[in-house]
Every structure is written in structure tokens, then in C-alpha cells.
A and B are shown apart, each in its own frame.
Chain A
Amino acid sequence: MIEAEVKALVRDPERVMAALETRAKGRAEVYEDTYYDTADGVLGRDDRELRVRTVHGPDATRSVLTYKGSRVDKVTGSKPEHETVVENPEAVHALLRGLGYAPSIAFSKRCRNYEFRAAGRPMLATLARVPELDGTFLELETMVKDDSDLSAALDDVRAVLRELGVNDDDLTNELYTDAVAARR
């Protein structure tokens, strides 16, 4: 699966949140993300990501292990993604360390998630704040099966962002990991 995702800096968070709340009920969650890499940083160099995420939500706390390949859309930074639920995150952390991976960066992200359908696709919108970064961000994504649908999906995602009041000039493809690392 490919995550067709567009991220933007939100200049008027109250208005964008109000627009999102008309589409779905927001679910507040805190993500604790740990990114792993080899000692010589080969994953980062290849623009790949290996992440253990623990999601603290209103109904459950759950963890997922995610691998993202290098980007297939340069403009948005969309990447092929493989993700699975993890029953025991400590075991996965230990397993990755045992295999020679080390945590490269860890940070928390405070999110408000909205799931809805638009342009005939299931979409996930995430309004996010990262303590080290100024500003509120909005990520909008939909999953596509392969490359052939990626460009159409990204067009749909950008159209929905415009409906939510996000200006094309405010789109960004910078990774949180890079931005947080630059701030530290």
C-alpha cells in the first residue's frame, strides 16, 4: 500500500478544526514515536523509515510497527508503507536493538484525528502539534494500492485540503523527524 499524504502548516487552526468537525468527530490521541536506524544511518540516507509508535487514545493504548520505503512522489513525500499492530512494544524495541538498530530520534506528537470519506475515498485527517515545533500541522492521507492511482489520489487529497481552508502555499514535504532533529 502507498500512503498518499499531503502535509500543511495550518495558519488558522480554529477555523480548520471547525471545518474538520463538520466532517467527523475528532479523536484526541498522543503518539509516542521512536525511529530506528542502523549505526551508519543507512535507512535515513535512503529516505526510509522504521518506527515504533505507541498511541495513547481515549479507548485504548496500542502500538504499531511501521516501515516506510523511500518516497514515490517527490512533491508530497508520499511513501510505500507497511504497518502492523504490535501486542508487546517492549519486545519489538528489544528485537530491533538486538538486530543492530538503534533509536535515531524519539518525540511525541499530539494529534486530533478525523476519519471521513471524500472524493469516494476513505481519508484520515490529523491535526497535529509537536512540542519542539511551532505551529499546528494538518496531514491528510488516503491509502492507494499502487502507483497508478497515486497521482489521482493526491489530487483528491489536495482538493479536500483546499475545502478545509488550507492554502497551497502552506503545503510542506518536510519530515517531522528532520524538523525536530534540526531544533534539538
Chain B
Amino acid sequence: MSTTLVPIELPDWAWQNAGLRKALRARDIAATFRHVQQFGHSQARIAVACGMTQGRVNEIINGRREVSRLDVYERIADGLAMPDDARHLLGLAAQRERHVGGAAFDLAAFPEVVRVYAAQASAAAEIQRQARTAEQIDVLAVRGLGLLGLNDSLLRASLVRVDQPPTVRVLLLDPESRSAGVRAAEIGESADSLASGIRLTESKLRELVAVCDMQVYRYGGLPTWRIVRLDAALYLSAFDAGWEGHDSAVYKIMATPAGPLFRGFRRMFDSMIAASSRMV
């Protein structure tokens, strides 16, 4: 019961010391530990970091015992938070490859899509619950009537709070764009009807300027993705010909260090905001 989750951390430049690098190349752990001691770390601290007893560290430093087992080298490298080039001098694989298993393992074992819903209706209760406490809310929609534009829309009640008002960024389709005409035809509506729906949502969101940080933008491209982001959770669905956004299946995507979906959609949203005109 000796492994610590918090290794000793030396400054990066410490690992560039010629004497230390020579010691690592020779797999001389006694000399390596003596270098670590020079940074003020006691034998006891080294012992805890490397999963050994203090007596064992003392024996190694004083040359009464040598390290020869690969798993012990691994533990020492981890305990001293060796950068990859130092690990390589010791003859070990890079740290991330060893313990984390790489991005492919990471995303297969801990996928960023944590849940799939058949349609927005089945995700509604959860989205509503999470929206009540979210600090940042991003919405990419066509007209956003179901999400925001009507008094009983999914997210509307969660924007009016006693404390901690959220920052809300909403991207709606530009009612004057060519894409608005294309989208109206795709769902069998008149262009006028679609455009007036968008304008209605805009005006209903303008009413909320006093209660939260409300930003509403118009985008011009063909609607493809539908996004509701609530802090670190992103609900993703799609628009297609004859396919309304709320009919699409919904993926719940959680932010993860190696996950491309959350990262990519967030970046896409930010770049759409940068290219759009702000209406509210």
C-alpha cells in the first residue's frame, strides 16, 4: 500500500543536468536519488513517491542495494514524474503510453458519448434539470421555438434565476439568408412562416436581457447540427431534409481530455459566433 497519486515534481530543467542524465543512462538509481535530494526532497518523501520503504531508499542511496527489476524502475520513474526523455534514458516507454493507454484506449474505455436518446423529447427532462444550474448555455438552432422562443420552451424557465444568472449564446438561422429559404422548402413550410418564427424567438429572447447575459446571433449557412451545450455536457442532434431537429436522435457528449467531438463542436460554435451578426 505504498503508491502515491502525487509524485515528486522537479523543475523541467533539472532533468537536463548532465550528471543526472548520465546516471539515468547507467540506470544508477543511487545517483538519481541523490540528485532528487538536492531539490530538498527527503528519503522519506522519495520513499512515499516511489512506493518503497525509507529503509530501502537509504540502502539504494548508500550502495547496499541495486535496483534491477523493470517494475521498480517504472515505479521510480512514475514517482519522480520523469519526463519522457528521462524515461527513455532509463530504457522505459513514454509515461502516457504506459499508464493511460493512449487516446484510442481512453475513448474506447471512457467514451465521450455517455448516452443516446431516441429524440429530444426523451432528453428533455434531463436537459431542463441540468440547465437550471448551468453557468454557460450555448444553443445552435434554426428558429429555436421549442428550445427558447415560447414561454413554455424547454430552456426558458431555467434562464430566470434568483442568483447566478447564466451566460447564454444563441445562434439562430438568418431569416433573410438564402439558407432560410432552402430550409423552409426542406420541411415543407413557407419561407415567410419560418422567418417569422425566427424573429419571434429573437424578440422573446430580447425580453430576457435584464435577467441574464443574453447574446443572440444570426448565422447564414445551411442548418446541419443542432447543439445545446450546458457547461461540460453537449447535446447534439442534426437537421436534414424532411427531418426536424427535435425529431433527430440526440447524443449526450461530455467534455474529456482526449475527446474530439466536444472539442470540435465547441470550436465550430465559437467560430460561427465570430462570423455571425449579433442581434441581441
Contact = CB atoms under 8 A, between A and B. Distances in A.
Contact of B71 (A13, A61, A137, A169): A169
Interface stretch (A26-34, A42-50, A143-151): A26-34
Interface stretch (A64-72, A104-112, A117-125): A104-112
Chain A contact residues: helix, strand, loop or mixed = mixed
Interface stretch (B20-28, B108-116, B149-157): B108-116
B63 to A, nearest CB: 23
A99 interface: no
B105 A28 contact: no
Contacts of B111: 28
Nearest to A32: B232
B15 to A, nearest CB: 16
Task: Tell which of B51, B106, B116 has the most Cβ of chain A within 10 Å.
Answer: B51
Interface in B80-115: 95-96, 98-101, 105-106, 109-111, 114-115
Contact of A28 (B3, B101, B110, B257): B110
A14 interface: yes
Given A58-B115, A127-B109, A9 B3 contact: yes
A12 B256 CA distance: 21
Interface residues of A, number: 46
Given A112-B110, A176-B5, A179-B6, A13 B75 contact: no
A90 interface: yes
Given A13-B105, A14-B105, A61-B126, A169 B75 contact: yes
B5 A133 contact: yes
B133 interface: yes
Interface string A89-120: 01001000000000000001011100000000
A182 B110 CA distance: 24
Nearest to A6: B1
Contacts of B133: 90, 93
B98 A11 contact: yes
Please indicate which of the listed interface residues A133, A137, A172 has the most CB atoms of chain B within 10 Å of its own CB.
A172
A9 B71 CA distance: 13
Interface of B: 1-6, 51, 71, 74-75, 78, 95-96, 98-101, 105-106, 109-111, 114-116, 126, 129-130, 132-133, 232-233, 252, 254, 256-257
A169 B2 contact: yes
Nearest to B254: A30
Contacts of B3: 8-9, 169-172, 174
Contacts of A28: 109-111, 114
Interface string A1-42: 000000011111110010000000010111010000000000
B51 A182 contact: no
B100 A134 contact: yes
B58 to A, nearest CB: 18
B101 A172 contact: no
Interface of A: 8-14, 17, 26, 28-30, 32, 56-59, 61, 75-76, 90, 93, 108, 110-112, 127, 129, 131, 133-137, 167, 169-174, 176, 178-179, 182-183
B1 A75 contact: yes
Contacts of A59: 115
14 contacts: A11-B98, A11-B99, A14-B105, A17-B109, A56-B115, A61-B130, A90-B133, A131-B256, A136-B109, A169-B71, A170-B51, A172-B2, A179-B6, A182-B6
A1 B273 CA distance: 52
Given A111-B110, A129-B110, A56 B99 contact: no
A131 B98 CA distance: 16
B177 to A, nearest CB: 36
A56 B252 contact: yes
A55 B69 CA distance: 40
B99 A13 contact: yes
